Amino acid sequence: MFKFNFGDNIDEKEETPSSKVTTHVWLKSEQIEPATENDAILKDIISNCEENTFQYKSQVLKYFSTVDILNILRTSDECSLKNNLSVLDADNDHSDLQTAIYEGGLKIWECTYDLLQYIVNNNLNLKNKQTLDLGCGSGLIGILSLVENASFCTFQDYNAEILKYITIPNVILNNDAYLNKSNFYSGDWNSFVDLINHDNEEKKFDYIFTSETIYNIDCYEKLHEVFQKLLKKDGEIYLAAKSYYFGVGGGITSFKEFMEQKKIFQYKTCWTSSDGLKREILKISFS
């Protein structure tokens, strides 16, 4: 049994990218260290932002209002901060996506809730597992894995400011001890793989969870590489997405075709919804 209680309208904006960027220079991946408890912005977020909840069974996941976080960032006295936050530029432009600049981490996308519900309803055993929340945004899926006693979770999102001011505060909100079982990486998937690629099978991930990350066909190759290099041989990937992303070109059907051409993974549709634009969850594993 699950129940959502959120103040932000998550589907308010159209899922269309900005057309301003024509030449893409992708951000290099880097590990993001959580701010100290004396960080003024972090303290402001934790003290003053509205809390929303995702309820399931006897547990409650908590996350801060992204509207409130944006307001804090926008009114910050640190001019250098405001001048370097792509999320503020994207919000000012009313844009959910700006290729290679801002990749949608501010918004909690519809399929994130689908995947949360699926994990809960199907009682995935996450105890003592190593998980990756890929394209994590607010980090709800990774936080769920920690609540369900995963041994460790890696949170990855393209924009460092998403991790610093949204993901990490949400982890702290649920249980600050989870920081000891987490790490955080920003940047492009190609350099992310290079940064954390493990030759040791035991250090790879038992589960990779990712939601609404297949909207850009041009990124399929590097997403597939993340799966191939970072998943344990007996691991599983759960990918939630819409059938098609208008204005961007990607979607479930095209990604299935891409995997079939690669012949590395097998997949099956484990959940589907035809309510509105068709949505699916794929369970993916090595062939």
Q: Taking a C-beta distance cutoff of 8 angstroms, is the pair 105, 166 a contact?
A: yes
Other beta carbons within 10 angstroms of residue 191's beta carbon come to 17
CA distance 192 to 11: 29
What was the pLDDT predicted at 116? 96
Q: What are residue 66's phi and psi, to 5 degrees? A: -70, -25
CA distances from 199 to 207, 230, 231 (A): 17, 9, 11
CA distance 130 to 152: 5
Other beta carbons within 10 angstroms of residue 198's beta carbon come to 12
Other beta carbons within 10 angstroms of residue 140's beta carbon come to 25
Q: At what angle do helices 110-121 and 140-147 cross, to 10 degrees?
A: 20
What was the pLDDT predicted at 29? 94
**Residue 258, both tokens:** 């891409």
What was the pLDDT predicted at 273? 92
The one-letter amino acid at 245:
Y
Q: Is the dihedral of CA 130, 146, 273, 16 positive or negative?
A: negative
What was the pLDDT predicted at 36? 79
Place of tokens 């909840």: 53
Provide CB contacts within 8 A for 47, sequence distance 6+.
none
Q: What are residue 158's phi and psi, to 5 degrees? A: -65, -45
What is 2-18+33-286's CATH number?
3.40.50.150
**Across the 287 residues of the chain, what is the mean pLDDT of every consecutive 10-residue run?**
47 41 77 87 94 89 94 73 57 53 67 95 97 97 98 96 94 97 96 87 95 92 97 98 84 96 98 89 99
**For the chain, domain boundaries:** 2-18+33-286
Q: What are residue 267's phi and psi, to 5 degrees? A: -145, 160
- Rg of the chain on CA atoms, in Å: 18
pTM of the model: 0.87
CA distance 259 to 229: 15
Closest CA to 142 of 194, 93, 182, 103: 182
What was the pLDDT predicted at 9? 43
CA distance 64 to 165: 10
DSSP-H helix ranges across 155-231: 160-162, 168-174, 189-196, 220-230
CA distance 35 to 43: 10
What was the pLDDT predicted at 93? 54
CA distance 197 to 98: 27
Say if strands 205-211 and 130-134 run parallel, antiparallel, or are unpaired. Answer: parallel
